[in-house]
Amino acid sequence: MPQQPIAGRYELVEELSSGGMGDVWRGYDAVLDRPVAVKVVRRQAVAGSPQLAEEFAKRFKREARITARIQHPGVPQVFDAVLDDTYERLFLVMELVDGAPLSTYIHPDHPLPVSWAAAVAAQVATVLSYAHDVPVIHRDLKPGNILVARDGTVKVLDFGIAAILRTDVTKLTATGSPIGTYQYMAPEQVRGGRTSPQTDLYALGCVLHELLSGKHLFTADSEYLVMYQHVNAPPTPLRLLRPDVPAALEELVLHLLLKAPEARPADVQEVYERLRPFLPSPGEDPRPGEAGPRGAPDPTGVFRRPFAPRSRPGAGRPVATAAGPVPALPAPVAVPEQLRVEIAEAYAHSDALLDEERFAQAAEVLGEVIGPAALALGAESRKVLELRTQRAAIQLLGGDYRTALPEFDALADAYARTGGAGSAQARACRAQAARCRGELGQVTDALAALRGVLEVVRTVDGDMSDEAVELRRDIGMLLLARGEASEAQLVLAPLHEDLCLVYGPEDDMSGEVAEALSLIELDLDGPVA
């Protein structure tokens, strides 16, 4: 892999998966400071002659543009398409999705619940409906290209890759064999014929059959025999393999698997309508046996709670009000020398990235050492909590408030357990969590938390400690942002007097508070009669 950033901005960080058409890497976009996924198409796909390579380059960019037109959250966004000057390396830069391939949850001895399988198929059908409208045909739909995110939403990967590598125009593959994965190839693909939306429907039938039975549609000693079966052999009805599959669902799968494309369902919208009876209704709770594999996301959730808002991060957490008894600190653990070196290197690397304002990558560097440190030293050891605090602070600094918020909440609780609710670290983390809430629009909760922390600080350090001054300023600014000018003035006016007395009117914070008070006074005075 190249040591230099791709196109001057994309860095390859860690290989995530390897497949027939290419490898997927976790990458980093240095320009926009965000993690990305980078699909590296295999070199064998690129023909040797300059003419064919030039044609490949055109096709690659064209298909990437077409894929980018599929406007649906079930299709990871395509950010960029880069073909290097040698025509040997091909990079598709995409949204990085946190989840696992559907193939992870398929097991021959543990068939998936009907509603779970139907929910996945329905979400895939929805994505295909948007793609076919562009029109884009996937051509390589399979469990490995279907990802189930942590929230249960389904993402369909690799749109356009099979089209980029198709053989019907430039014969770019060395063998001339059809593009696709043989366990999911429609008969017309095996024959090298014209593909259509019905080609994707056949593959969806193969996937749904596998979800419900735990087994491939056809198996044989060689891929050529499997492809022969796709063309000539009748599929085994699902109810012979699993009697509890509803008859109507078995009928739908058999309809999807018909050999002639025109004999299959008319379109993917029809498939979705026929899946609807097997989907949960809005508000319906899961019944026994519907949970799916242990630890797996729940793809039925989008149907049970359609358009539900995000869950409230840290909801119900107590606000610090007063210092309580200090619990006993855990016994210190000696830090192994190698781990000590790795932690020091992580801090140094993260600091260097921060100097370049590469916030996402700086936080990720610290994250890589937190796991090993927690295993060696304990999850709530001082070193580990310091690493987590620094990572959360970087996330806040980089504007990733939604990620930083639950971590600051968790850190505040951990510091309260190890050092007491009134400890400086616990107070600081509660204040940082409150600032995240303010940035996320949760102003009422943010104000309550900041006032709670300020009450503790006043009892310990008084009203003019650095911590108290920052809290007073933040409370006043939040009140002002919420339009409560009078209340903001009651907080900021005495703060300004204190700042001028201690630090002078030329101090940066004195000036900041003075500007806010000027705005308040203009608003309070109102129009002149």
Please determine, for residue 275, whether its predicted confidence score (pLDDT) is greater than 50.
Answer: yes
CA atoms within 13 A on the CB side of 64: 20
pLDDT value at residue 142: 95
Backbone angles phi, psi at 28, to 5 degrees: -140, 130
Mean pLDDT (the chain) is: 84
Provide the β-strand partners of residue 10.
6, 29
- 148 assigned to some structural domain: yes
Average of per-residue pLDDT across 170-182:
50
- As a whole number of angstroms, the distance between CA 429 and CA 431 comes to 5
Same domain, 290 and 144: yes
pLDDT band at 164 (very low <50, low <70, confident <90, very high): low
Please determine, for residue 303, whether its predicted confidence score (pLDDT) is greater than 80.
Answer: yes
- 249 assigned to some structural domain: yes
- As a whole number of angstroms, the distance between CA 432 and CA 438 comes to 10
Domain boundary among 29, 60, 94: 94
Same domain, 28 and 78: yes
Domain that holds residue 507: 462-529
Same domain, 360 and 476: no
What is the share, in percent, of the chain residues with pLDDT greater than 90? Answer: 50
Same domain, 178 and 37: no
Provide the β-strand partners of residue 275.
none
> Residues 130-149: pLDDT tens digits?
999 888 899 999 998 899 99
pLDDT band at 186 (very low <50, low <70, confident <90, very high): very high
Question: Is the model more confident about 126 or about 2?
Answer: 126
Domain boundary among 39, 68, 94: 94
> Residues 59-88: pLDDT tens digits?
667 767 777 788 899 998 888 878 777 667
Domain boundary among 280, 304, 328: 304
Same domain, 480 and 493: yes
- As a whole number of angstroms, the distance between CA 342 and CA 336 comes to 10
pLDDT band at 45 (very low <50, low <70, confident <90, very high): low
- 278 assigned to some structural domain: yes
> Residues 417-430: pLDDT tens digits?
888 878 899 999 99
pLDDT band at 226 (very low <50, low <70, confident <90, very high): very high
Q: Please tell me which residue in 29, 140, 409, 474 is annotated as part of the active site.
A: 140
Highest mean pLDDT among 49-63, 259-273, 330-344, 372-386: 259-273
CB atoms within 10 A of CB 192: 13
- As a whole number of angstroms, the distance between CA 361 and CA 350 comes to 8
3-class state of residue 400 by DSSP: coil
Residue 400 belongs to domain with CATH number = 1.25.40.10
Same domain, 59 and 153: no
Residue 174 belongs to domain with CATH number = 1.10.510.10
Do 94 and 161 meet the contact criterion of CB atoms below 8 Å apart? no
Provide the β-strand partners of residue 368.
none
Two tokens, residue 167: 């053989």
Average of per-residue pLDDT across 296-321:
68
Please determine, for residue 324, whether its predicted confidence score (pLDDT) is greater than 60.
Answer: no
3-class state of residue 296 by DSSP: coil
Q: What is the DSSP string of 181-242?
A: -GGG--HHHHTT----HHHHHHHHHHHHHHHHHSS-S---SSHHHHHHHHHHPPPPPHHHH-
**DSSP run (H or E) holding 149:** strand 146-149
Residue 50 belongs to domain with CATH number = 3.30.200.20
Same domain, 495 and 386: no
pTM as predicted = 0.62
Question: Is the model more confident about 180 or about 174?
Answer: 180
The reply to whether 98 belongs to the active site is no
User: Lowest-confidence range among 184-188, 203-207, 358-362?
Assistant: 358-362
Same domain, 300 and 385: no
Determine the straight-line distance between the first and last CA of the chain, rounded to whole angstroms: 72
- 310 assigned to some structural domain: no
Two tokens, residue 420: 């007491």
- As a whole number of angstroms, the distance between CA 148 and CA 299 comes to 8
- 345 assigned to some structural domain: yes
Highest mean pLDDT among 15-19, 85-89, 153-157, 303-307: 153-157
Provide the β-strand partners of residue 101.
147
Sign of the CA dihedral with 188 first, then 193, 194, and 200 last:
positive
CA atoms within 13 A on the CB side of 448: 9
Q: Where are the beta strands (DSSP E) in 231-344?
A: none
Same domain, 249 and 281: yes
Nearest alpha-carbon partner for 5 in 97, 110, 89:
89
> Residues 328-340: pLDDT tens digits?
444 555 678 899 8
Average of per-residue pLDDT across 8-26:
83
Same domain, 119 and 254: yes
Highest mean pLDDT among 92-106, 229-243, 305-319: 229-243
Strands 22-29 and 34-41: antiparallel
- 457 assigned to some structural domain: no
Average of per-residue pLDDT across 184-198:
90
Please determine, for residue 51, whether its predicted confidence score (pLDDT) is greater than 60.
Answer: yes
**8: Cβ–Cβ under 8 A, 6 or more apart, which residues?**
none
- 277 assigned to some structural domain: yes
- 454 assigned to some structural domain: no
Two tokens, residue 430: 């509660």
Same domain, 245 and 278: yes
Same domain, 262 and 219: yes
Do 422 and 406 meet the contact criterion of CB atoms below 8 Å apart? no
Question: Is the model more confident about 478 or about 321?
Answer: 478
> Residues 345-381: pLDDT tens digits?
999 999 999 988 889 999 999 999 999 999 889 888 9
Sign of the CA dihedral with 220 first, then 222, 224, and 225 last:
negative
Question: Is the model more confident about 380 or about 293?
Answer: 380
Two tokens, residue 229: 């079966």
pLDDT value at residue 1: 58
Number of domains in the chain: 4
Please determine, for residue 90, whether its predicted confidence score (pLDDT) is greater than 90.
Answer: no
3-class state of residue 40 by DSSP: strand
